[in-house]
């Protein structure tokens, strides 16, 4: 059943180090529930019943939170192979901690936490690896959230933009890359006003620090951007 998503599952950190044949056998044992979502459809809603650890099989989605004032903040993006829900899976909480919305038509499967850490009736060789991977993923997510908090504490708009762009360049391994957000989404991610974001990025472009067209971004002066991030 999951053979057509072999490439996507191969890059999912939850299944790292598990051979394809073993993975297919394991998924038949774990029997995750597959769901499909249309563009802009809600995959999860904050506070609603937790369905299990999710894995994006196709498409893209964004993870959002809403403040008491009703302002939406984008926490992260998800694409094929990405995992979500792992931070709450073993916490004892019954509801989703955030809302996830499909940016494109998407396919997702949900895996019960009990099946991840429970005994395997087929004695799958990869089940121990699955548990080790989950522990590593949770640790890495905690570190990511720590960086997110640090980013939100940066006081200047230019500093927020600089840190964000430097992190995107690091992830891409290049100074030219595609932004994961449109301008509205980027403003929500940085928790700033969209017009202010556009004006500041325009100034940085005029100063020769960055160049961009749509979602395509190029860092021209890396050192200047690093100074802005200090």
- Closest listed residue to residue 177, CA positions, set 226, 216, 224: 216
Q: Which CATH architecture has domain 154-228?
A: Orthogonal Bundle (1.10)
* Residue 179 tokens, joined: 């932004």
How far is residue 134 CA from its own chain's centroid? Answer: 16
Mean pLDDT (the chain, rounded): 87
- State the average pLDDT over residues 145-162: 82
pLDDT score, position 93: 80
Dihedrals φ, ψ of 130, to 5°? Answer: -60, -45
Contact present, 162 and 46 (Cβ < 8 Å): no
Percent of the chain with pLDDT strictly greater than 90: 43
pLDDT tens for residues 83-136? 999 888 888 788 998 999 999 999 999 988 888 776 666 656 677 788 889 888
Q: Which residues contact 145 (CB under 8 A, 6 or more apart)?
A: none
pLDDT score, position 121: 61
| Block residue for tokens 């809603």 | 45
Report pTM.
Answer: 0.69
Edge-to-edge strand ranges of the sheet holding 106-111? 33-37, 106-111, 53-58, 83-84
How far is residue 74 CA from its own chain's centroid? Answer: 10
Q: Is the pLDDT of residue 147 over 90?
A: no
Beta bridge pairs of residue 49: 95
Regarding the domain delimited by 3-143, which CATH topology (the fold level of the hierarchy) does it fall under?
Answer: Jelly Rolls (2.60.120)
Q: Concatenated DSSP letters for 106-127?
A: EEEEEE-HHHHHSPPTT--TTH
Contact present, 65 and 28 (Cβ < 8 Å): no
pLDDT tens for residues 187-203? 988 888 999 999 999 99
pLDDT tens for residues 14-40? 888 888 888 888 888 788 889 999 999
pLDDT score, position 4: 84
Q: What residues does each domain of the chain span?
A: 3-143, 154-228
């Amino acid at each position: 059943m999951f053979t057509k998503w072999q490439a996507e599952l191969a890059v999912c950190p939850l299944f790292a180090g598990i051979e394809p044949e073993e993975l297919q056998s394991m998924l038949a044992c774990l029997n995750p529930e597959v769901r499909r979502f249309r563009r802009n459809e809600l995959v999860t809603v904050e506070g609603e019943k937790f369905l299990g650890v999710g894995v994006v099989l196709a498409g893209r989605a964004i993870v959002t939170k809403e403040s008491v004032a009703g302002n939406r903040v984008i926490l992260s993006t998800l694409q094929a192979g990405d995992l979500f829900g792992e931070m709450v899976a073993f916490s004892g909480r019954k509801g989703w901690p955030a809302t996830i919305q499909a940016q494109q038509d998407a396919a997702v499967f949900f895996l019960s936490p009990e099946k991840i850490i429970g005994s395997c009736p087929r004695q799958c060789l990869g089940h121990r690896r699955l548990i080790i991977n989950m522990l590593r993923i949770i640790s890495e997510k905690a570190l990511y959230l720590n960086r997110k908090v640090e980013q939100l504490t940066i006081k200047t708009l230019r500093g927020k933009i600089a840190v964000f762009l430097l992190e995107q360049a690091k992830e891409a391994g290049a100074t030219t890359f595609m932004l994961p957000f449109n301008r509205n989404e980027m403003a929500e991610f940085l928790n700033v006003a969209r017009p202010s974001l556009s004006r500041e990025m325009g100034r940085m472009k005029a100063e020769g620090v960055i160049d961009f067209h749509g979602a395509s971004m190029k860092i021209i002066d890396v050192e200047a951007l690093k100074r802005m991030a200090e």
